[in-house]
Structure 1
């Protein structure tokens, strides 16, 4: 079968891999679509994401959907929940499996040996990680389930947003899905900032009320104050923007993964304004919520900018990196 393997910085190969043999309790999935995530791009461009560095070749990908081949869902279209938490650590016991200290996550170098990912024609995973798609949800749109789950979790971390003005910094795929999640949660007004006009266009598709060019201080849409903010750009300047605009006692959620090491930010504002700065990492039960939301809202189709056959994976990665031309790029693993 074909698989997409990262060997190091800039060394991405589409290669033949042995077909997996499901172990007891596992099911085989014929993968149809895989979404190219920002973390996949970081592994390709930089050899790591955040503090997680490549130490061996790894199959990329954790946003995958397809058809179950074996197990109780055989023959059904399914989405794959990419996480296998340990179920034993204090975090799992506290209902926070998304920060499990011993989790396994598809296509992640957070542990060694690395957890091989889902960018392959066939994938064997614990059957408990499969979710049959709700009626009417096409596989193509279902490929957004994993990143939408990340967005839903970030919005949950922001607290009650219904009726509030919320700022989102960064209009990449995750930022746009945060916009959609905020709209679903009842936010009264959503402002999005980014450097690129095309990214802001996708934010509008997702439901943003106001879009602002981050590099234009005179943009008339720039707010003077917001109730809450979600930082989705992964740069310290975005965090500074959030801290500078959120009201006293407001909440800022850091969702974008910042560069490795220390990141300077306006920490004194956290103190003097009693701003609550919260992290948001992955997700847990939001995956099922994401599938239901995707089934109800065909607007998500507008965020899928390209579907690329897997033999052209490197071209797909170049396209996904160029946010002036793309939002969410999918790999197509059909024969």
Structure 2
């Protein structure tokens, strides 16, 4: 059951160690000058959140902290000097807080800022608490007002959409044969982005038949198994641009093998487990151009503009929504079948 509420405290979900997520009461924060207090409505669960929970993340948890970086809510309170926002305004939260002064930030690569503090991340010390709490203070510059008709649940999808769009724009996809390895949330959205950006065809491969077929239902042209892909290699069937969204060593290997020798491009989007290398022999044997992405640059506005300009609906990605007091259930293995593509935790009605 939800913990007892009061005007000055709030419920937060604290990860104290591997597989130890606790609902606790803490003091409700107040915004300082230039900040806003956001009443959190929806938080999407990402693969990085589950990696922290299961102890497989690249960064060690050195102190208890709060997960969650795919978030939306409404403005609850304004700090001194904040203009252009009003209490009650629905917003999405931009999770990356970069310095704004370094060479990378000035050059438009704020996602590569060495001083970035990301919501719900243990990559920095002290860790930066995330959005799995009823109220969160953020800089006023890091909320994006949502247009009329755009739901808060959709607002919480802007962060993964931004990741996918950043990836799809990393290599020229217009008129190209595109393959996406991995049909999870980011793979699904990368397929949507590639198709919208003019790919000649989009193929998705995943070990899950459900995820592969879901991609076809929402814009991909083909769904192939690994065996079907490999059978195509013997016929000279390769891809111009390949995205690995699996975050799995076997997925990366398949992506590298699927790129057209001599001209193929591979974009690594998924996060590999710590200590895992890349099978470079497939790169050298085909002289493949390989790059990677880190989150996204330029905030969430490009993703929102992309969705509204092309009138894209990505709400189908959310296959489960649970209330905040059942948050621990999100990290348990599914009883049967595939885990949901995207789980949303709803903190308020």
> How high is the TM-score relative to the length of structure 1?
0.92
In the alignment, what sits opposite 2:132? 119
Is 1:187–2:199 an aligned residue pair? yes
Cα displacement (A) at 1:166: 0.6
| Partners of 2:269 and 2:338 in 1: CA distance | 22
In the alignment, what sits opposite 1:283? 296
Map of 1:37-186 to 2, 5 A cutoff?
A: 37-46=46-55, 48-49=56-57, 51-71=58-78, 72-73=84-85, 74-158=87-171, 160-186=172-198
Cα displacement (A) at 1:121: 0.7
1:6 aligned counterpart, secondary structure: strand
Is 1:3–2:17 an aligned residue pair? no
**Structure 2: tracts of 5 or more residues without a match:** 1-9, 79-83
Per-residue CA deviations over 1:32-88 (Å, capped at 9, x if unaligned) read 000000000000111x52x21111101000000010112342221000000111122
Using a 3 Å threshold, how does the CA distance of structure 1 residues 290 and 205 change in structure 2: closer, same or farther? farther
In the alignment, what sits opposite 2:35? 26
Using a 3 Å threshold, how does the CA distance of structure 1 residues 191 and 270 change in structure 2: closer, same or farther? same
Cα displacement (A) at 1:286: 5.6
**Structure 1: tracts of 5 or more residues without a match:** none
8 Å Cα contact 1:9/1:43 also seen in 2: yes
Is 1:15–2:19 an aligned residue pair? no
8 Å Cα contact 1:68/1:76 also seen in 2: yes
Cα displacement (A) at 1:15: 1.9
Map of 1:227-246 to 2, 5 A cutoff?
A: 227-246=240-259
In the alignment, what sits opposite 1:197? 209
In the alignment, what sits opposite 2:270? 256
Per-residue CA deviations over 1:155-191 (Å, capped at 9, x if unaligned) read 1112x21111111001011111111111221111111
8 Å Cα contact 1:192/1:208 also seen in 2: yes
Structure number, greater radius of gyration: 2
1:64 aligned counterpart, secondary structure: strand
CA root-mean-square deviation: 2.2
| Partners of 1:255 and 1:325 in 2: CA distance | 20
| Partners of 1:126 and 1:163 in 2: CA distance | 41
1:299 aligned counterpart, secondary structure: coil
| Partners of 2:297 and 2:140 in 1: CA distance | 16
In the alignment, what sits opposite 1:328? 342
Q: How many residues align?
A: 331
Cα displacement (A) at 1:112: 0.5
Q: Of residues 210, 218, 223 in structure 2, which corresponds to 1:206?
A: 218
Cα displacement (A) at 1:317: 2.6
| Partners of 2:32 and 2:247 in 1: CA distance | 38
8 Å Cα contact 1:137/1:294 also seen in 2: no
Cα displacement (A) at 1:17: 2.1
8 Å Cα contact 2:249/2:276 also seen in 1: no
Cα displacement (A) at 1:13: 1.3
Cα displacement (A) at 1:236: 1.6
